[in-house]
């Protein structure tokens, strides 16, 4: 864009800004700034609670939090740079693409010897043959090297223009467009997509919640209404059942693989039945993807537990141990007692305010089991038995029996990540396009050759010259080869 | 697990690379034709030795040889050697070998100094059992090798350009290829490296992450550092188009880019915590 002194001030400033956004210096500035901000993001630990920064960085903490350095990649700085990058790409393309397109397709065919001699790479060949024969030779050489050819007759003789690899000049544009496409995919994902996590037990059916969005208005910034995306969660028609979860081990004891078998129902109808997933092999259904992400032991349930009944005076076992299933009445052998497991916590804790027992954590630090003891069909006690402290409380008050909670078999749950991200497809499309663009830009070269043939007395003068956008040294060699081939097997050819 | 053959070939390759480096440097200093030929032969033998190491490693472990630093460094050495031999045959400039084989030997030395546990074979953890992981590392390392070559060329360029400018002469510097060729080769190395790095480290890495963790990008330090490296080389490619940035400034960017690559490869695994820390386990 050119500016003259007579232009109004806003045009001059507009052109200046346009020029800045379209400059390569601006590109370099953005790329280096992105690199520097990213480095800061890897040095300062991200997304920690504010107290962490106070502890770690002292008086600098407030600055870090104010500048948003604790969530660098979502901070205004970073998004602003990405917006600048997009603007830079768009402005550069608008500025440079049309002239490039023109110069690529509208090359001169009819050129004189002087034009060729001014080219960086050029050769002059003197032949004894007639121009028509020379033309035939030249055409054969160029065709065998897969050049496309145009020719024109002129006063002194004729001109030939040959080219190949034109597409290579647009590689960089393809890469730039692909980058915009990838960023578009990222934006789509951040608006439409969601990521969820759930723990699933064998046999349990869970309705999958999904996240939806709608556009709203946000006036919190100086009362200016700005568009806002409101997200809300709702139950979907999709239900997931875990049929089985197990872990494979290597002989050395290291984990080989985590596996879950899943059944998906949609609107009450089973649509996917017994599909096995593992790390690196998720399940897809209607845009939702279920990933094997973690596993653990239930903190509020057990499959079964093992007890021993002892004589509280002698401490001797009355009978061998017995095993009771969760929530299933079981007659204790050798007695007229009956037991039923009704509760479990993996890490026992008691809240005096509400007088409730709850698991302090999901870790199995202090497992405790809640059982009901019946005698002749009547409930006699309901004790908590501790795995770590066997004789803390009497299980059956007023009897000679002591019940020991000896062992238990927990229930494994599978941790599944549930994702929806329609932007991913766009990101992949952009990625493929980017690789295509790279190959065009780096490995296909736009080569242009001009040849002028002129009759001079008994001789035919051939001027060969060429241009390439990249890779000068390889082209130098190729042009010499072409000149050599034109000269060779024509009798009496001399190259100057 | 038995790792005898791969260790044996690694040790052999180590001494071969040392000898190759010495021969190339010797050729650079005394410029005798027979020494140049011997260098090339030894370079081919070294490349073959490290290739055999990788083959036995694959056979012994049952998986592609890039699951830890010991394996991936050997793979890097193999790729950079092949890339160098291609350049030598295409451009017929052997002096470059003194620089590139020094890089290869330094890599071998660093690998041999890794703690012993790296030489042992570890079974693959669940996340690594994926064809995408293998393609990801394979392609990313071709990228690393390209960047490594570019570093060698950029360093030579800076030395050569300084002498050309001041029109001073020294027999060692005079034997380096003209700065214009070094600049071109540096650019070509970055171009090849950049394509495979983008494809391997970023795109295939994202595909694998999406399969394993359900997100193609999570700003994990290794991911972030590969993006930083990508920004630096993107800057290099744009700098070369700008008139004032061509030559020296571009060469410095190429050197800076390789420092970023080294940190991405070694630094992140040892210094910063994240998903990729298995590399240091």
Q: Note the pLDDT tens digit of each residue in A205-214.
A: 888 888 888 8
Rounded to whole angstroms, how far apart are CA atoms A434 and A427? 10
Flag whether residue A246 sits within 8 Å of chain B, measured between CB atoms: no
- The pTM for the full model equals 0.85
Mean pLDDT of the residues in chain B: 89
Of A35-39, A369-373, A394-398, B99-103, minimum mean pLDDT range: A394-398
A445 Cβ neighbours under 8 A, 6+ residues apart: A165, A168, A468, A469, A470, A471, A474, A475
> Could you tell me if A448 and A161 are in contact, meaning their C-beta atoms sit under 8 angstroms apart?
yes
Q: Which of A56-60, A486-490, B164-168 has the lowest mean pLDDT?
A: A486-490
> Which of left, alpha, beta for A421 (phi over 0: left; psi -120 to 50: alpha)?
beta
**pLDDT confidence tier of residue A252, bands split at 50, 70 and 90:** confident
- Contact list, B123 vs chain A (CB under 8 Å): 250, 252, 254, 256
Write the pLDDT tens digit of every residue in A42-95.
888 888 888 888 888 888 888 888 888 888 888 888 889 999 999 999 999 999
Residues in chain A with CB shorter than 8 Å from the CB of B214 are 195, 282, 289, 291, 293, 417, 419
For range B80-87, the mean pLDDT: 95
Q: Considering only CA atoms, which of A30, A477, A422 is closest in space to residue A194?
A: A422
pLDDT at B279 over 70: no
Query: Which residues, in sequence order, are bridge partners of residue A372?
Result: A340
CA B264/CA A216 separation, integer angstroms: 42
* Residue A123 in tokens: 């050769």
Tokens at B134, concatenated: 């293998």
Residues A304 and A402 in one domain: yes
Q: Mean pLDDT lowest for which of A115-124, B36-45, B256-265? A: A115-124
pLDDT for residue A485: 87
Give Cα separations from A446 to A103, A440, A484 (angstroms).
12, 10, 21
- CA A426/CA A431 separation, integer angstroms: 9
Contact A104, A169 (CB under 8 A): yes
Closest residue in B to A438 (Cα–Cα) = B195
A24 in B contact zone (CB under 8 Å): yes
Q: Which residues of B touch A472 (CB under 8 A)?
A: 184
How far apart are alpha carbons B186 and B174 in whole angstroms? Answer: 19
Judge: A42–B234 Cβ closer than 8 Å, yes or no: no
Query: Are A218 and A181 spatial neighbours (Cβ–Cβ below 8 Å)?
Result: no
CB B193 within 8 A of CB B144: yes
pLDDT in the model for residue A235:
85
Chain A CA closest to residue B186: A471
Q: Which residues contact B168 (CB under 8 A, 6 or more apart)?
A: none
Q: B95 by DSSP, 3-state: which?
A: coil
Q: Tell me how far CA of residue B270 lies from CA of A419, B121, B265, in angstroms.
A: 31, 19, 9
Using CB atoms and an 8 Å cut-off, which of residues 39-98 of chain A contact chain B? 39, 41-42, 46, 73
- pLDDT beyond 90 at A341: yes
Could you tell me if A470 and A399 lie in one domain? Answer: no
Banded pLDDT at B281 (limits 50, 70, 90): very low
Q: Does residue B277 or residue B89 have the better pLDDT?
A: B89
Residue A4 lies in a domain: no
SS3 A342: strand
Q: Do A154 and A208 sit in the same domain of this protein?
A: no
Per-residue pLDDT band at A491 (split at 50, 70, 90): very low
Q: What is the mean pLDDT of residues B196-224?
A: 92
Structure tokens at A414: 């599978």
Residue A102 half-sphere exposure toward CB, CA atoms < 13 A: 5
Residue A95: strand, helix, or coil: helix
b/e per residue A386-418 (b: at least 16 CB within 10 A): bbeeeeeeebbeebebbbbbeebebbbbbbbbb
Least-confidence region, from A423-432, A480-489, B95-104: A480-489
Look at residue A272 in the predicted model and tell me its pLDDT. 92
Chain A: nearest CA to B47, how far in angstroms? 26
The pLDDT score that the predictor gives to residue B272 is 67
pLDDT-derived band at B111 (thresholds 50, 70, 90) equals very high
Which of A22, A23, A26, A28 to mutate to test binding with chain B, by most B CBs within 10 Å of its CB?
A: A28
CA distance to partner chain A, nearest, from residue B125 (Å): 6
Arithmetic mean of pLDDT over chain A: 87
Interchain pair B123, A73: CB under 8 A: no
Q: Do A38 and B228 touch (CB under 8 A)?
A: yes
DSSP string, B131-164: HHHHHHHHHHHHHHHHHHHHHHHHHHHHHHHHHH
Give, for A261, the enclosing helix (H) or strand (E).
Answer: strand A255-266
The CA–CA distances, whole Å, from B70 to A107, A166, A413, B56, B75 equal: 54, 44, 36, 14, 9
Any alpha helices (H) in chain B, and if so which ranges?
A: 4-30, 33-61, 69-91, 96-112, 131-166, 171-174, 179-197, 205-212, 221-241, 248-262, 268-271
Interchain pair B214, A434: CB under 8 A: no
* Contact call for B231 and A38, based on CB within 8 A: yes
- A386 at the B interface (CB within 8 A)? no
d(CA A335, CA A333): 6
Chain B touched by A27 (CB under 8 Å) = yes
User: Which run of H or E residues covers position A133?
Assistant: helix A131-144
Residue A5 confidence class, pLDDT cut points 50, 70, 90: low
Residues A418 and A294 grouped into a single domain: yes
To the nearest whole angstrom, how far is the Cα of B193 from the nearest Cα of chain A? 11
pLDDT of residue B161: 93
Of the pLDDT bands very low, low, confident and very high (cuts 50, 70, 90), residue A492 is very low
Place of tokens 């007229």: A336
| DSSP for residue A366 | B
Cα angle A422-A425-A426, degrees, rounded to a multiple of 5: 95
pLDDT at site A273:
92
3-state helix, strand, coil in chain A (%, to 5): 35, 40, 25
Residues A422, A273 share a domain? yes
Residue A35 to residue B232, Cβ atoms within 8 A: yes
Reported as type and span, the H/E element at residue A38 is: helix A24-43
**Strand A337-345 to strand A368-375: parallel, antiparallel, or no bridges (unpaired)?**
antiparallel
Q: How far is CA B164 from CA A191, B29, B98, B161, B254, in A?
A: 56, 19, 20, 5, 20
In this structure, are residues A313 and A400 in contact, taking their beta carbons and an 8 Å threshold? yes
Task: Report, as an integer, the average pLDDT of A369-376.
Answer: 90
For chain A, the maximum distance between any two Cα atoms, rounded to a whole number of angstroms, is 134
Place of tokens 């055999």: B52
A424 inside 8 A of chain B by CB: yes
Judge: B228–A35 Cβ closer than 8 Å, yes or no: yes
Task: Please give the C-alpha separations between residue A344 and each of A362, A369, B17, in angstroms, as whole numbers.
Answer: 12, 4, 63
Are A280 and A332 in a shared domain? no
Q: Could A282 and B214 be called an inter-chain contact, meaning their C-beta atoms sit closer than 8 Å?
A: yes
Domain co-membership, A256 together with A313? no
Residue A184 lies in a domain: yes
Same domain membership, residue A269 and residue A178: yes
Q: Is the pLDDT of residue B140 over 90?
A: yes
Average pLDDT for A153-180:
91
Residue A245 in contact with partner chain B when CB distance is under 8 A: no
**A215 with A251, same domain?**
yes
Q: Contact, A486 vs A464, CB < 8 A?
A: yes
| Token pair in block for residue B94 | 């052997």
Q: How many domains does chain A have?
A: 4
The pLDDT of residue A361 is above 90: no
Relative orientation angle of helices B131-166 and B221-241, to the nearest 10 degrees:
40
What is the average pLDDT across B127-152?
92
* Residue B278 confidence (pLDDT) above 50: no
Q: Is residue A368 located within the same domain as residue A465? A: no
Does A258 lie at the interface with B, CB-CB under 8 angstroms?
yes
pLDDT value at position A495? 44
A23 and A128 inside one domain: no
**Identity of the residue in B123, B214, B241 whose CB atom sits nearest the CB atom of A293:** B214
Q: Which of residues 173-192 of A touch B (CB under 8 A)?
A: 186
A121 has a chain B CB within 8 A of its CB: no
Contact criterion met (CB below 8 Å) for B112 and B14: yes
B232 contacts in chain A (CB < 8 Å) = 31, 35
In the predicted model, is pLDDT for residue B34 greater than 90? yes
Beta bridge partners of A158: A153, A453
- The helix (run of H) or strand (run of E) holding residue A359 is strand A356-359
* Res A356 pLDDT > 90: no
Q: Answer whether residue A182 shows pLDDT above 60.
A: yes
Stretch among A391-405, B34-48, B203-217 having the lowest mean pLDDT:
A391-405
Instruction: State which of A392, A410, A428 marks the end of a domain.
Output: A410
Q: Within an 8 Å CB–CB cutoff, is residue A35 touching chain B?
A: yes
Domain residues for A205? 174-299+414-436
pLDDT of residue B273: 55
Among chain A residues, CA nearest to B122: A254
Chain A contact probe: residue of B192, B206, B216, B221 with most A CBs at under 10 A: B216
Contact A90, A450 (CB under 8 A): no
If pLDDT is split at 50, 70 and 90, which confidence band does A314 have?
confident
Q: Mean pLDDT throughout B157-166? A: 93
Specify the 3-state DSSP secondary structure of A448. Answer: strand
Size of interface A-B (CB pairs under 8 A): 109
Determine the residue of chain B that is closest to A423 in CA distance.
Answer: B216
Mean pLDDT of B181-187: 91
Phi, psi (5° rounding) for residue B227? -70, -40
What's the CA gap between A200 and A198, in Å, rounded?
A: 6
Six-digit token string for B218: 């999570």
Q: Which residue among B122, B214, B221 sits closest to A289, beta carbon to beta carbon?
A: B214
For residues B188 and A214, the model is more confident at B188
Tell me: pLDDT of B1 over 60. no
Q: Is B66 helix (H, G, I), strand (E, B) or coil?
A: coil
Of residues A147 and A336, more confidence is placed in A147
Total residues found in chain A within this entry? 496
Q: A16 versus A397: which is more confidently predicted?
A: A16
CA atoms within 13 A on the CB side of B265: 26
CA distance A293 to chain B (A): 7
Residue A193 and residue A185 in contact, taking contact as beta carbons nearer than 8 Å:
no
CATH code, domain carrying A278 = 2.60.98
CB spacing of B242 vs A25 below 8 angstroms: yes
A142 pLDDT exceeds 80?
yes
Mean pLDDT of A433-455: 93
- Asked if A421 and A307 sit in the same domain, the reply is no
Measured CA to CA, the distance from residue A146 to residue B171 in angstroms comes to 43
Closest chain A C-alpha to B145 CA, distance in angstroms: 17
Which DSSP state fits A111? -
- Neighbouring CB atoms inside 10 A of B170's CB total 10
Q: Indicate whether B24 pLDDT > 60.
A: yes
């Amino acid at each position: 864009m050119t500016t003259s002194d007579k232009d109004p001030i806003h045009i001059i400033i507009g052109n200046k800004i346009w020029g800045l956004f379209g400059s390569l210096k601006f590109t370099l500035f953005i790329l280096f700034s992105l690199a520097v901000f990213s480095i800061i993001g890897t040095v300062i630990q991200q997304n920690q609670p504010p107290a962490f920064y106070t502890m770690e960085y002292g008086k600098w903490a407030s600055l870090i939090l104010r500048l948003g350095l604790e969530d660098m990649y979502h901070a205004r700085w970073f998004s602003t740079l990405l917006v600048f990058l997009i603007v830079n790409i768009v402005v550069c393309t608008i500025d440079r693409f049309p002239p490039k397109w023109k110069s690529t397709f509208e090359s001169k065919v009819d050129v004189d010897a002087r034009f060729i001699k001014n080219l960086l790479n050029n050769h002059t060949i003197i032949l004894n043959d007639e121009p028509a024969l020379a033309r035939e030779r030249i055409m054969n050489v160029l065709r065998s090297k897969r050049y496309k050819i145009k020719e024109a007759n002129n006063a002194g003789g004729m001109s030939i223009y040959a080219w190949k690899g034109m597409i290579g000049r647009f590689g960089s544009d393809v890469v730039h467009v692909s980058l915009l496409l990838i960023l578009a995919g990222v934006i789509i994902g951040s608006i439409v997509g969601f990521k969820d996590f759930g723990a699933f037990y064998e046999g349990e059916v869970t309705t999958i919640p999904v996240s939806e969005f709608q556009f709203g208005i946000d006036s919190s910034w100086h009362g200016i209404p700005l568009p806002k995306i409101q997200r809300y969660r709702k139950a979907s028609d999709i239900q997931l059942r875990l049929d089985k979860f197990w872990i494979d081990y290597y002989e050395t004891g290291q984990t080989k693989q985590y596996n879950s078998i899943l059944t998906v129902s949609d609107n009450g109808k089973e649509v996917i039945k017994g599909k096995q997933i593992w790390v690196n092999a998720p399940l897809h259904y209607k845009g939702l993807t279920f990933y094997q992400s973690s596993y653990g032991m239930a903190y509020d349930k057990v499959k079964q537990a093992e007890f021993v009944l002892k004589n509280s005076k002698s401490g001797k076992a009355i009978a061998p141990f017995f095993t009771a299933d969760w929530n299933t009445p079981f007659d204790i052998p050798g007695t007229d007692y009956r037991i039923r497991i009704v509760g479990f916590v993996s890490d026992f804790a008691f809240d005096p305010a509400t007088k409730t027992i709850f698991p302090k954590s999901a870790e199995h630090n202090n497992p405790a089991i809640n059982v009901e003891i019946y005698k002749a069909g009547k409930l006699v006690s309901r004790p908590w038995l501790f795995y770590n402290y066997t004789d803390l409380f009497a299980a059956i008050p007023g009897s000679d029996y002591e019940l020991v909670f000896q062992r238990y078999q927990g229930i494994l749950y599978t941790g599944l990540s549930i994702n929806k991200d329609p932007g991913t497809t766009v990101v992949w499309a952009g990625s493929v396009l980017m690789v295509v663009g790279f190959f065009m830009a780096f490995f296909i070269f736009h080569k242009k050759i001009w040849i002028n043939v002129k009759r001079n007395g008994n001789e035919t003068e051939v001027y060969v010259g060429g241009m390439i956008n990249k890779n000068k040294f390889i082209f130098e060699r190729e042009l010499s080869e072409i000149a050599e081939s034109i000269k060779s097997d024509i009798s009496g050819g001399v190259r100057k | 697990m038995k790792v005898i053959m791969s260790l044996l070939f690694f040790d052999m390759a180590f001494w071969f690379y040392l000898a190759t480096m010495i021969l190339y440097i010797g050729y650079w200093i005394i410029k005798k034709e027979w020494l140049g030929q011997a260098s090339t032969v030894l370079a081919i033998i070294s490349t073959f030795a490290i290739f055999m190491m990788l083959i036995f490693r694959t056979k012994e472990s049952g998986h592609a040889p890039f699951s830890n630093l010991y394996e991936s460094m050997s793979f890097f050495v193999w790729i950079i050697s092949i890339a160098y031999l291609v350049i030598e045959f295409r451009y017929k400039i052997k002096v470059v070998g003194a620089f590139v084989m020094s890089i290869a030997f330094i890599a071998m030395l660093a690998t041999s100094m890794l703690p012993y546990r790296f030489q042992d074979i570890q079974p693959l953890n669940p996340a690594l059992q994926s064809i995408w992981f293998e393609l990801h590392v394979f392609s990313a390392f071709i990228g690393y090798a390209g960047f490594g070559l570019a570093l060698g060329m950029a360093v030579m360029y800076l030395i050569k350009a300084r002498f050309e400018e001041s029109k001073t002469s020294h027999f060692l510097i005079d034997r380096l290829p003209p700065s214009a060729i070094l600049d071109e080769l540096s650019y070509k190395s970055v171009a090849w490296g950049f394509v495979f790095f983008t494809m391997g480290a970023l795109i295939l890495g994202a595909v694998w992450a999406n399969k394993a963790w359900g997100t193609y990008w999570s700003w994990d330090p290794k991911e972030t550092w590969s993006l930083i490296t990508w920004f630096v080389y993107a800057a290099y490619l744009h700098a070369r188009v700008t008139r004032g940035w061509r030559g020296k400034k571009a060469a410095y960017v190429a050197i800076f880019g390789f420092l970023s690559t080294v940190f991405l490869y070694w630094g992140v695994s040892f210094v910063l915590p994240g998903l990729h820390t298995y590399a240091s386990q």
